[in-house]
Amino acid sequence: MVRTDLPSEQQTVQAVHAAFDSGKFFAEQDDRDTPSVVICSVPDEEALTEAARRLTRRGIDHVLFIEPDRDNEATALATAPINGNTRRIFSNYKLWRN
């Protein structure tokens, strides 16, 4: 999940940062070779941190990427691999378009 208030090239960079961190932390949680990847978008940092709180309340493991070059702003997040009904939590978010 990435913020759309960032410049478009930074949206890509920040989403990759979050995905990389997620892979480091959650690689052992998925038994499939290649999990599906879907990138959702939120309008700003407030919406991103609210999404992270929502995931925490639902017990969904995730990493919130904090960008030190942007004054330690939260810029993107990525979850551990999920499937089945768990994916429904993301139905309220728009797909990311660049």
28 vs 64, higher pLDDT:
64
pLDDT in tens, 46-76: 999 999 999 999 999 999 999 999 999 999 9
* Number of separate domains in the chain: 1
Its domain, for residue 63, covers 2-27+36-95
Average pLDDT of every residue of the chain = 91
Q: For tokens 């890509």, what's the residue?
A: 12
Residues 6+ apart with CB under 8 A from 25: 61, 63, 80
9 vs 85, higher pLDDT:
9
Q: pTM, whole model, 2 decimals? A: 0.89
N- to C-terminal Cα distance for the chain? 13
Residue 71 φ/ψ region, left for φ over 0, alpha for ψ in the -120 to 50 degree band, beta for the rest: left
